């Protein structure tokens, strides 16, 4: 066994020359259950066996077998730089329990394949397969009874954090170009989105050179066939299809001390990227002062995390 490192993206992932992979946070799964704090119920489903795509479903306390009303549906894409994280990890399980409870929504948290075993675009392909699987429930005759009975497919939201926010944006674009039947995407919530680009913008010039290099190198590691950091998958400002975003509103959450903050602002109304593209929706921006990347996942009880949660909940309701 060699300790020679081939790729080091601390604190996300480290890959050794002998092929060993260290995912550096939060990889131990926790079981689906009834959460004692929120009474949110969860269970795991298999969406596809080849490739293997799965998800964790969540029902709010008010969604009982007897209830007849339907709830907004959230499809969530976890973060982790495309190479770490899991819908089944304690971090995301706890986050979805809290979000589902506060927003009173049904949720599908997608487990997509990770880099480097499955380079991009695998994560995008898996996520789209999950969206299309959800769509099969529009007439109440899909394979999953929780969605048939409780999910309102005319009130669908996408959300994710970091790389998951990048995925949520791409899925919003695909909804706009593919025109799904019986499926209405109302809005997307992008939390600290992992976007980047060739030319530094805003405060990026003040970032340490090794930080800028890491963000660019991570992308090339995840997507070996990419055209570079201005690839539309990473830099929405370079995407000729941006005007086809398939929803009417977007909430972008950024954190003041986050290295990718200016990309979130650039995506938003602040820089008019979406408006210039010809998209006619509404963008809201929320900035958490004094906070860093995905702070709300590290401490969901801090004041800024609670404030952000309230904003996301009001956006979906």
Active site residues: 162, 258, 293
What gap in Å lies between CA 274 and CA 204, rounded to an integer?
A: 21
Q: Would you state the structure tokens that stand for residue 86, as one six-digit string?
A: 């899991």
Q: List alpha helices for 2-144, DSSP H.
A: 90-103, 122-135
Question: Got the DSSP string for 159-195?
Answer: EEETHHHHHHHHHHHHHHHH--TT--EEEEEEES---
Phi-psi region of 228 (alpha: psi -120 to 50; beta: other; left: phi over 0): left
Q: Specify whether the CB–CB gap between 286 and 253 falls below 8 A.
A: yes
What gap in Å lies between CA 45 and CA 249, rounded to an integer?
A: 29
What residues does 188 pair with on adjacent strands?
158, 250
Query: What is the distance between the terminal CA atoms of the chain, rounded to a whole angstrom?
Result: 53
Phi-psi region of 290 (alpha: psi -120 to 50; beta: other; left: phi over 0): left
């Amino acid at each position: 066994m060699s300790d020679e490192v081939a790729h080091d993206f601390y604190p996300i992932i480290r890959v050794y020359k002998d092929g060993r992979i260290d995912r550096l946070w939060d990889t131990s799964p926790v079981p689906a259950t009834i959460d004692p704090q929120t009474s949110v119920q969860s269970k795991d489903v298999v969406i596809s066996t080849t490739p293997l795509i799965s998800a964790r479903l969540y029902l709010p306390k008010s969604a009982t077998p007897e209830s007849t009303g339907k709830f907004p549906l959230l499809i969530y894409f976890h973060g982790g730089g495309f190479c770490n994280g899991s819908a089944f990890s304690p971090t995301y399980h706890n986050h979805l329990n809290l979000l589902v409870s506060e927003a009173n929504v049904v949720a599908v948290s997608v487990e997509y394949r990770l880099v480097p075993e499955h380079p991009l675009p695998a994560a995008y392909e898996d996520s789209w397969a999950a969206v299309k699987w959800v769509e099969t429930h529009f007439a109440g005759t899909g394979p999953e009874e929780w969605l048939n009975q409780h999910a309102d497919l005319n009130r669908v939201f996408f959300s994710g954090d970091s790389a998951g926010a990048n995925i949520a944006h791409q899925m919003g674009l695909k909804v706009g170009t593919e025109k799904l039947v019986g499926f209405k995407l109302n809005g997307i919530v992008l939390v600290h989105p992992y976007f980047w680009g060739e030319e530094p913008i805003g405060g990026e010039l003040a970032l340490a050179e090794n930080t800028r290099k890491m963000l660019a190198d991570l992308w090339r590691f995840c997507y070996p066939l990419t055209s570079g950091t201005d690839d539309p998958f990473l830099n929405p400002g370079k995407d000729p299809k941006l005007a086809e975003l398939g929803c009417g509103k977007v909430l972008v959450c950024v954190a003041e001390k986050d290295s990718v903050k200016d990309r979130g602002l650039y995506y938003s109304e602040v820089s008019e990227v979406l408006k210039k593209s010809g998209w006619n929706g509404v963008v809201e921006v929320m900035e958490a002062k004094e906070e860093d990347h995905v702070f709300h996942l590290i401490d969901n009880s801090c004041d800024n995390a609670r404030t952000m949660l309230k904003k996301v909940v009001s956006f979906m309701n």
